[in-house]
Amino acid sequence: MSDHNLKDPRKIYPAPPFPDQPQRAPGLARRMDPRPDHGEQSYRGSGRLTGRKALVTGGDSGIGRAAAIAFAREGADVAIAYLSEEEADAREVVSLIEAEGRKAAALAGDVKDEAWCRKLVAKAVSDLGGLDILVINAGRQQYRDKIEELSTEDFDKTLKTNLYALHWIAQAAIPHMPAGSAVITTASLQAYQPSPILLDYATTKAGIVAYTKALAKQLIERGIRANVVAPGPVWTALQPSGGQPGEKVKNFGKDSDFGRPGQPVELAPVFVLLASSEASFINGEVYGVTGGKGVA
């Protein structure tokens, strides 16, 4: 019997060329053309995370937004962390979580600040009444053509956002998380196939892989699993807000096997799996969602 819902995966989402659309960092999904699909209309839940309590950093847009929406539709209460400049996008996510009858917590602040990272975790635990899913996803990506252009300030901001915050948030959260909990980090294909214009970003993404693999070995002694999702080119606000040059944004994802970038919602099922008890024997793994590029 044929499945009449089957569709060619190369053609289900927009392909480049895309319009010119520069934004100032950190960027807003609502200003992108075409608007990314985070699962607002397309993700359907099935109760796989009923009663769970999740904190997702960078939950206002992109991959974090897709994870937050999916978690809520699978039955979880969700706290999202984001920069205050991203309030408009964050409010949309809160509304989507609450539309599922789930509790939502909106936590605005800068994860480059250690004190805020620790306060963020405390507020999430308090607002949700506990924590058993931790998605550390917030990221900074700003391209620089030459090593001479990559300032110490740039390097510092990227490492603090992508790596230091990972450590601070995990360190604060783990004591609150019971056995059976899950930690999920977001790395990148850049950890394995780094672009010359993303020296600092690629370095942090490789660091996230190593950190999470080491953390997984520690945490399994407490019954907590930790895994990594490594996306390839995904259509998020990171790209037009300085993550890539304009010409690369215009043709973003063209060199994937699909001839298009991934959409955030296409990563959501992987986050749901890794958060769920169905992944009870999965630990310290890197799940690539790279459009055929592979992680090796």
Average pLDDT over residues 152-166: 98
The reported pLDDT for the residue numbered 1 is: 42
* Cα→Cα distances 203→25, 194, 208, 210, Å: 20, 8, 9, 11
Residues with a catalytic annotation lie at: 201
Does the pLDDT at position 136 exceed 50? yes
Average pLDDT over residues 24-50: 94
User: Letter for the amino acid at 271?
Assistant: F
Dump the DSSP string for the chain.
---TT---TTSSS--S--------TT--GGG-SSPP--STTT----STTTT-EEEEETTTSHHHHHHHHHHHHTT-EEEEEE-GGGHHHHHHHHHHHHHTT--EEEEE--TTSHHHHHHHHHHHHHHHT---EEEE--------SSGGG--HHHHHHHHIIIIIHHHHHHHHHGGGPPTT-EEEEE--GGGTS--TT-HHHHHHHHHHHHHHHHHHHHHGGGT-EEEEEEE-SB-STTIIIIIS-HHHHHTTTTTSTTSSPBPGGGTHHHHHHHHSGGGTT--S-EEEESTT----
Neighbours of 158 (CB within 10 A): 24
Question: What are the tens digits of pLDDT across the range 183-239?
Answer: 999 999 999 999 999 999 999 999 999 999 999 999 999 999 999 999 999 999 989
The reported pLDDT for the residue numbered 220 is: 98
The reported pLDDT for the residue numbered 138 is: 97
What CATH class does 44-286 carry? alpha beta
Q: How confident is the model at residue 3 (pLDDT cuts 50, 70, 90)?
A: low
Residues 279 and 273: beta-carbon distance below 8 Å: yes
The reported pLDDT for the residue numbered 5 is: 82
pTM: predicted TM-score of the whole model, two decimal places: 0.96
Does the pLDDT at position 2 exceed 60? no
Q: How confident is the model at residue 241 (pLDDT cuts 50, 70, 90)?
A: very high
Of 296 and 88, more confident: 88
Question: What are the tens digits of pLDDT across the range 67-107?
Answer: 999 999 999 999 999 999 999 999 999 999 999 999 999 99
Burial 71-86 (b: 16+ CB within 10 A, else e): bbbbbbbbbbbbbebb
The reported pLDDT for the residue numbered 81 is: 98
Question: What are the tens digits of pLDDT across the range 97-107?
Answer: 999 999 999 99
